[in-house]
Structure 1
């Protein structure tokens, strides 16, 4: 497995070795020893989620109060997503910046993001399926959102899907009314770096 830290401290891209033959493909999408050596701690599993999305579905930017925080280990089982990590940690050297990884059913990369980071995904084709491991069970009282389309964040969302068709973004009702990055900061809802 190749592990590369992203431009945002506390986030990594993981690219597994794939072994294929005429029967299909095998890969290890998580291996505790390699992950722990690179990241410094194993994934703490409290919940596992699966989400299937049509092309253009944009989910996030989601984050959880830190502490306790929620780390995520995310991969794509089918289709393709642009996975975006946003540094929402006040005081971080990369505060307000983002990085992205294409996760798909070809390279089968994964993304790990530490607690305190914001997360969003954009489906690049119909029936794309993301699965992710979470270090904290879903706790709605701890969850927050920042608009993924906030112009202050300048996230470069693709406008064309994997099949070359234009993408029409589709957000949940909750994500459609999410605070701006500036408002979340003004309201004291952003995590603190080093928490």
Structure 2
């Protein structure tokens, strides 16, 4: 596996090795010991999957607050996404900054989004399937978000992003300036 640090160094893109032949490929996509040594010493407790029928579907920006804060290991099983992480750690010198990468089924790359970061994505192809492991169970009371189009964050979404695809929940997410301090910066 190969790591590619992004501009927010805590967020990491992972490229699992693929061994190909005329039949296709084999890829080890996750090893707990490798992940703990090279990325983060965490345990994953739940795995989620979503299907987005249309290209341009926006999901996010989501996070869970402590004590159910989640780190996420995201990958695309079919199609492609523009995957985004936003630093929400109060006191961080990068508070409100974002990074993004394209995750594709073809490439098999993954994105590690640690606790203290909001996560969201825009599908780039129809029938896109996204799967992600999380480090805490889903808790409705701790499920939060921030506006996908907040100008204070300034995510440069792809032109295909379709605001009419937002869920009812995502249509009313607060702006960054209106979020309480949910995560401390421990840098």
Q: What's the TM-score bracket when you normalise by the shorter of the two chains?
A: over 0.9
RMSD between superposed Cα atoms in Å: 1.6
Using structure 2 for the length normalisation, give the TM-score: 0.92
Q: Aligned partners of 2:40, 2:83: CA distance in 1, in Å? A: 22
Confirm or deny: 8 A CA contact 2:61 2:145 kept in the other structure. yes
Aligned to 2:3: 3
Aligned to 1:97: 97
Q: Note the residue ranges of structure 2 that are not aligned, 5 or more in a row.
A: none
Q: Aligned partners of 1:152, 1:93: CA distance in 2, in Å? A: 15
Q: Aligned partners of 1:50, 1:16: CA distance in 2, in Å? A: 19
Aligned to 2:50: 51
SS of 2:36 mapped into structure 1 = helix
Confirm or deny: 8 A CA contact 2:70 2:136 kept in the other structure. yes
Q: Aligned partners of 1:120, 1:31: CA distance in 2, in Å? A: 24
Confirm or deny: 8 A CA contact 1:86 1:117 kept in the other structure. yes
* Range with bigger deviation, 99-108 or 15-24: 15-24
Residues 68-118 of structure 1: per-residue CA shift (max 9 Å, x gap): 411111100000001101001111121110001110012111011111111
Q: Note the residue ranges of structure 1 that are not aligned, 5 or more in a row.
A: 161-166
Indicate yes or no: 2:166 matched with 1:171.
yes
Instruction: Give the length in aligned residue pairs.
Output: 185
Residues 29-64 of structure 1: per-residue CA shift (max 9 Å, x gap): 1122322221241x4121110001121111111011
Aligned to 1:163: none
Confirm or deny: 8 A CA contact 1:69 1:136 kept in the other structure. yes
Using structure 1 for the length normalisation, give the TM-score: 0.89
